[in-house]
C-alpha cells in the first residue's frame, strides 16, 4: 500500500508556520490542529520523542483524524524535536510572523521537563529581537491554565535584564486561559489498520477521536489569532472550566480507578457494567450541586460520550499521573462541599491503585512516594499519608471514610 504524503493526497496548506505548538501527542493532532486552517500553519514541537516527528516528516506532515469519517489534516507544516531542533524553535519564537504559541504538555510539563525553560528562553530571544507581541496559550486540563503558564514562564526568567524581560512579558505577552475538550485515546496498531482501510493509504500516525469537540478561550489576546472556526471566545472561562474539569475529567478519573479495581480495561467497558452509568450520574450530581447553573444536560451528554464503544479509552491512560490530576479534578468539589459519598469512594479507588501490587498499568511521577505511604500500620493511616502527600483539603474526616471502602475494592467489588 502507498504511503500518505503530498504526492498521494493534495490538499490546501499554509506555506509557513505562524503558530508554534509544544506537545505532539494525539490530542493536539485531533484538537488544535483540526481547528487550524490555511493560511495559518503550525510548527509542532515534540518535547521528548522523535518517533512522531520522523513519521510525520516521512508523510510530508500529513496524517488522518478519524471520527465519523477519516480526514487528512494538513495544518502542521513543520515538525520539530525540541532537543535536536532547538535553534529552529528559537528562531520561530523570535519571529514576528509567529503570533501564537499553544501547549499540550500535560499537568506535569508545567513543573518539570524541558518545555517551560525552552519557551522562556525563546521569548527572551523575541524580546531581544524587537519584542513583537504574542499569545501563549495553555491547552492543558488545569484551573486557570493561563495563569499557571504565566507564573511558570516568569519563574524561569533569570539573569541580567530580568526586570526588563518581566516588564515586557506583562505588557506584550498574553496568557489567556482556555478549556479544551475532546476524547482522544492513544493510537493503537488497530487504529493504523483501520485508517489504512478507510484511506487506501498507509498512515503511520493516525488519530482516532470522538466526534465531539469544544474549545473555549479567554478573549484577552496581545496579537492576532486564527479565526478557529467553532471555538468560543469569552471574557471569563471559569464556568466552562469548572464544568469540564469537575464533571468530565473528575468523573473520568473516578471511572478509571473504580473500573480498574473491578478489572475493566476501558471507559466504554465501565459504562457497560451495571454500575457505570449510575456512578456517572451520581458523581455528576454531587459535583454539580455546588456549581452555579444547570448541568443535567451536560451529564446526560457525558453518559453518551463515555458509552461510545468506538472509543477504546484505556483506564490505565486516564488513571496515570493521578497525584497531579486529582487536585485539578476533585479538590474543587471537595473544597466546596466537604466530603461526598461518591467522591470518597473514588478517593478509595485511587488509594487502592497506589497500593504496591495493585498492578493497574498506571504510572505517576510520584509513584515511589505514593507506594511508601502503604508502610503505615493500617489503612486509615495509609490513606491519611496519601491524602497529605497530594495536599487534599478536608483531611480530618476523610481518611476514615475513604478507608472503609478498601476491602471491597481489593476484592474487585464496586459498591455504590
Ligand atoms: C482524560 C482526558 O486522560 C485523561 O486524564 O481525562 O485526557 C480527557 O479525555 C480529555 O480532557 C477530554 O477532553
What is the 348 CA–ligand 1 centroid distance (Å)? 21
Give nearest CA residue, ligand 1 atom 11: 181
**Atom of ligand 1 at shortest range from CA of 253:** 6
Handedness of CA 327, 215, 196, 8 (dihedral sign): negative
Q: Residue 339's pLDDT is what?
A: 84
This prediction's pTM: 0.97
What is the 249 CA–ligand 1 centroid distance (Å)? 6
**Atom of ligand 1 at shortest range from CA of 182:** 13
What is the 315 CA–ligand 1 centroid distance (Å)? 11
**Contact yes or no for 26/186 (Cβ under 8 A):** yes
Q: Residue 37's pLDDT is what?
A: 97
What is the 371 CA–ligand 1 centroid distance (Å)? 24
**Atom of ligand 1 at shortest range from CA of 329:** 6
What is the 406 CA–ligand 1 centroid distance (Å)? 26
Q: Residue 395's pLDDT is what?
A: 82
Mean pLDDT by groups of 10 residues along the chain of 416 residues: 98 97 98 98 97 98 98 98 98 98 98 97 98 98 98 96 98 98 97 98 98 98 98 98 98 98 98 98 97 97 97 98 98 92 98 96 97 98 97 89 98 97
Q: Residue 206's pLDDT is what?
A: 98
Give nearest CA residue, ligand 1 atom 1: 318
Give the 3-state secondary structure of residue 92.
helix
Residue 308 CB neighbour total at 10 angstroms: 16
Which residues, in sequence order, are bridge partners of residue 63? 73
Q: Residue 260's pLDDT is what?
A: 98
**Residue 180 host element (H or E):** strand 178-181
Residue 45 CB neighbour total at 10 angstroms: 27
Q: Residue 242's pLDDT is what?
A: 98
Give nearest CA residue, ligand 1 atom 5: 318
What is the 382 CA–ligand 1 centroid distance (Å)? 28
**Atom of ligand 1 at shortest range from CA of 214:** 13
Indicate the top mutation candidate among 248, 266, 317 to test ligand 1's pocket, ranked by most ligand atoms within 8 A of CB: 248
**Residue 178 host element (H or E):** strand 178-181
**Atom of ligand 1 at shortest range from CA of 319:** 5
- Ligand 1: list residues with CB < 6 Å: 141, 181-183, 249, 252, 317-318, 325
Q: Residue 187's pLDDT is what?
A: 96
- Chain-centroid distance of CA 378 in Å reads 35
Amino acid at each position: 500500500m502507498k504511503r500518505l504524503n503530498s504526492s498521494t493526497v493534495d490538499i490546501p496548506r499554509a506555506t509557513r508556520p505562524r503558530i508554534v505548538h509544544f506537545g505532539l501527542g494525539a490530542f493536539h493532532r485531533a484538537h488544535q490542529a483540526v481547528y487550524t486552517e490555511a493560511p495559518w500553519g503550525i510548527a509542532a514541537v515534540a518535547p521528548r520523542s522523535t518517533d512522531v516527528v520522523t513519521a510525520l516528516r516521512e508523510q510530508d506532515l500529513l496524517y488522518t483524524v478519524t471520527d465519523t469519517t477519516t480526514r487528512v489534516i494538513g495544518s502542521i507544516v513543520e515538525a520539530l524535536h525540541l532537543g535536536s531542533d532547538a535553534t529552529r524553535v528559537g528562531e520561530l519564537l523570535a519571529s514576528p510572523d509567529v503570533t501564537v504559541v499553544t501547549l499540550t504538555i500535560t499537568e506535569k510539563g508545567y513543573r518539570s521537563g524541558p518545555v517551560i525553560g525552552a519557551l522562556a528562553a525563546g521569548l527572551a530571544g523575541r524580546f531581544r529581537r524587537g519584542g513583537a507581541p504574542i499569545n501563549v496559550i495553555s491547552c492543558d486540563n488545569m484551573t486557570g491554565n493561563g495563569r499557571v503558564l504565566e507564573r511558570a514562564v516568569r519563574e524561569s526568567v533569570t539573569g541580567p535584564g530580568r526586570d526588563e524581560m518581566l516588564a515586557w512579558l506583562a505588557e506584550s505577552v498574553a496568557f489567556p486561559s482556555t478549556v479544551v475538550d475532546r476524547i482522544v485515546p492513544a493510537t493503537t496498531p488497530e487504529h493504523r489498520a483501520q485508517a489504512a482501510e478507510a484511506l487506501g493509504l498507509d498512515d503511520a500516525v493516525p488519530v482516532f477521536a470522538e466526534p465531539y469537540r469544544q474549545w473555549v478561550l479567554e478573549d484577552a489576546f496581545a496579537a492576532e489569532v486564527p479565526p478557529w472556526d467553532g471555538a468560543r471566545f469569552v471574557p471569563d472561562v471559569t464556568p466552562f472550566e469548572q464544568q469540564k474539569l469537575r464533571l468530565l475529567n473528575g468523573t473520568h478519573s473516578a471511572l478509571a480507578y473504580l473500573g480498574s479495581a473491578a478489572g475493566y480495561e476501558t471507559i466504554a467497558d465501565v459504562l457497560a457494567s451495571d454500575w457505570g452509568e449510575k456512578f456517572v450520574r451520581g458523581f455528576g450530581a454531587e459535583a454539580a450541586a455546588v456549581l452555579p447553573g444547570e448541568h443535567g444536560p451536560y451529564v446526560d451528554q457525558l453518559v453518551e460520550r463515555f458509552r461510545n464503544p468506538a472509543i477504546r479509552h484505556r483506564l490505565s491512560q486516564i488513571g496515570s499521573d493521578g497525584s497531579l490530576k486529582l487536585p485539578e479534578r476533585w479538590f474543587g468539589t471537595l473544597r466546596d462541599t466537604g466530603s461526598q459519598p461518591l467522591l470518597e469512594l473514588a478517593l478509595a479507588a485511587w488509594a487502592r491503585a497506589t497500593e504496591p501490587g495493585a498492578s493497574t498499568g498506571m504510572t505517576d511521577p510520584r509513584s515511589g512516594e505514593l507506594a511508601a505511604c502503604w508502610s503505615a500500620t493500617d489503612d486509615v493511616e495509609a490513606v491519611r499519608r496519601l491524602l497529605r502527600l497530594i495536599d487534599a483539603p478536608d483531611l480530618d474526616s476523610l481518611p476514615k471514610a475513604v478507608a472503609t471502602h478498601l476491602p471491597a475494592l481489593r476484592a474487585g467489588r464496586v459498591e455504590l
